[in-house]
């Protein structure tokens, strides 16, 4: 359940817009392909964690620590990069979480704006005004630093999200048009936007190791019918259903979030506000992870500074809240914010780094007697390395091309507005 909750957020609501960029059938096929790669990379991360435990005797490590230890187990030339890669991983994870939070502010403000203008047509405030209101409400909420309290709010958010998704799917099935009315594929120029949004939705790889540490039997987690496969297959099918039927229903009129396409009745406005409240309550949970890392790092340098130790974390929270608010105000386009985060950092975290770790481990096993696996033939290592190189290539290409295309789209959207 935690794995499924960690992968369902604003990204799933932007998938119909992603299908607009990729086309109906091409997007569906590519979404499943991306899902297979993302799930496989989750398995690679778990495998790396367990091999590190066997060789270094360390358990309960997080993503960044596993990256550091794998580099230490690798060939001598790359071992000196261990500490740097650990920092890079933490930075990417933090940027991913802050990217989620930026998208959350855009999402909440747009849905509230739509409801307000539905009942008060004369109220024509800019999105930045609504974002400022959301910012002010988030200020006291982010002062809650206890994870147990946040877990309670997270449970409420999950209930609201499930309710909202059920309504969205139901609305898509009402008077659904023929698939012949939608293009099977989009343009090559827009396809990177689809890829970046799709990668953004598979946002739960950072939860893999914490969840694994709570599982007593490893086979229950990453076996053929384990938690990873079953949970992520359900999540991927849900992604496909929302993306496919959402685009099929609304076509090129689909908005950055499908909630903006729902009818303007009282019931659907309640659904919009339910989604907005759900994402609002999730904000502090997403904020918790990077703040914990950054604050624990800063605390080591705040020796004998009682004031900083007492209030420093709150100032840090406000500082990064301001950053996410400013970014949301600069780029108030939900699908483009999600695409930018997906291209810049999510691709590296979800695909590139896990595949790179497996390349290092395979190289070490193949080249060093103390790491050889006697029951595996050398040619299998070459095939594994080739497969991982392909994933790294897809990840790097997605990062570079996706970032360039998304930034260009943001510039065009800003000029148009």
Residue 216 confidence (pLDDT) above 70: no
Long-range contacts of 320-327 (CB under 8 A, 24+ apart): 320/98, 320/287, 320/290, 320/291, 320/294, 321/101, 321/135, 321/138, 321/139, 321/142, 321/287, 322/135, 323/98, 324/98, 324/101, 324/102, 324/105, 325/105, 325/131, 325/132, 325/134, 325/135, 327/102
Pick from 149, 107, 125, 109: nearest CA to 284? 149
C-alpha neighbours within 13 Å on the C-beta side of residue 373: 15
CATH number, position 162: 1.10.4160
- Residue 218 banded pLDDT, cuts 50, 70, 90: low
Tokens of 62: 């997080």
CA atoms within 13 A on the CB side of 184: 2
Q: Assess whether pLDDT exceeds 70 at residue 27.
A: yes
Top pLDDT among 391 and 371 is at 391
Instruction: Give the C-alpha separation, 162 to 159, whole Å.
Output: 5
pLDDT value for 335? 86
pLDDT at 417: 64
* pLDDT, mean over the chain: 85
Statement: residue 364 has pLDDT above 80: no
- What the block records as the tokens of 237 is 């099918």
Q: What is the mean pLDDT of residues 224-238?
A: 84
Name the more confident of 43 and 5.
43
In the predicted structure, residue 373 carries a pLDDT above the cut 50: no
| pTM metric for this prediction | 0.87
The answer to whether the CB of 48 falls within 8 A of the CB of 357 is: yes
Give me the mean pLDDT over the 193-205 stretch: 87
Q: Print burial letters for 218-240: b (CB count within 10 Å at least 16), e (below 16).
A: eeebbeeebbbbebbeebbebbb
The band of 3, judged by pLDDT with boundaries at 50, 70 and 90, is: low
Say how many domains are in the chain: 1
pLDDT band at 8 (very low <50, low <70, confident <90, very high): confident
Residue 55 pLDDT: 74
Q: Give the pLDDT of residue 2.
A: 53
| Per-residue pLDDT at 267 exceeds 70 | yes
CA dihedral 45, 50, 53, 55 (to 10 degrees): -100
290-312 average pLDDT score: 71
The alpha carbon of residue 210 and the mean position of all alpha carbons in its chain are separated, in whole angstroms, by 16
For residues 275 and 264, what is the distance between their CA atoms, to the nearest angstrom?
15
Task: Say whether pLDDT at 370 is over 90.
Answer: no
159-173, 335-349, 362-376: least confident range: 362-376
- Residues 165-178 have pLDDT tens digits of 999 999 999 889 99
The percentage of the chain sitting over the pLDDT mark of 90, rounded to a whole number, equals: 43
Is the pLDDT at 366 greater than 60? The verdict is no
Domain of residue 96, residue span: 2-416
């Amino acid at each position: 359940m935690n794995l499924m909750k960690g992968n369902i957020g604003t990204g799933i609501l932007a998938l119909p817009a992603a299908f607009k960029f990729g086309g109906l059938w091409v997007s569906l096929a590519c979404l499943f392909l991306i899902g297979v790669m993302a799930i496989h990379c989750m398995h690679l991360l778990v495998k790396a964690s367990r091999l590190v435990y066997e060789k270094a005797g360390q358990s309960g490590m997080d993503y960044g620590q596993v990256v550091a230890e794998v580099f230490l187990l690798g060939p001598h030339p790359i071992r000196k990069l261990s500490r740097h890669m650990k920092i890079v991983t933490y930075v990417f994870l933090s940027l991913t979480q802050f990217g989620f939070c930026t998208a959350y502010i855009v999402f909440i403000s747009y849905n509230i704006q739509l409801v307000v203008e539905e009942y008060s047509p004369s109220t024509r405030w800019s999105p930045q005004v609504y974002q400022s209101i959301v910012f002010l409400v988030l200020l006291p909420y982010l002062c809650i630093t206890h994870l147990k309290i946040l877990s309670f709010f997270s449970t409420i958010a999950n209930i609201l999200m499930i309710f909202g998704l059920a309504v969205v799917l139901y609305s898509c099935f009402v008077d659904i048009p023929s698939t012949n009315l939608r293009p099977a594929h989009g343009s090559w120029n827009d396809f990177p936007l689809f890829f970046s949004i799709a990668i953004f939705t598979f946002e739960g790889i950072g939860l893999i190791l914490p969840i694994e540490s709570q599982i007593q039997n490893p086979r229950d987690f990453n076996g053929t019918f384990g938690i990873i496969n079953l949970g992520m297959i359900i999540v991927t099918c849900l992604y496909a259903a929302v993306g496919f039927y959402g685009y099929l229903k609304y076509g090129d009129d689909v908005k950055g979030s499908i909630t903006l396409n729902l009818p303007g009745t009282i019931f659907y406005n309640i659904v919009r506000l339910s989604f907005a409240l759900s994402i609002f309550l999730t904000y502090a949970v997403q904020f918790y992870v990077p703040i914990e890392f950054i604050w624990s790092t800063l605390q080591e340098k705040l020796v004998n500074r009682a004031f900083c130790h007492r209030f420093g974390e709150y100032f840090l929270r406000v500082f990064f809240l301001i950053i996410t608010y400013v970014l949301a105000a600069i780029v108030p386009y939900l699908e483009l914010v999600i695409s930018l985060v997906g291209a810049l950092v999510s691709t590296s975290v979800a695909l590139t780094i896990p595949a790179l770790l497996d390349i290092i481990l395979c190289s070490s096993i193949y080249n060093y007697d103390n790491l050889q696996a006697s029951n595996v033939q050398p040619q299998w290592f070459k095939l594994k390395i080739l497969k991982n190189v392909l994933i790294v290539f897809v990840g790097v290409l997605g990062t570079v091309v996706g970032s360039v295309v998304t930034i260009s789209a943001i510039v065009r959207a800003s000029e148009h507005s």
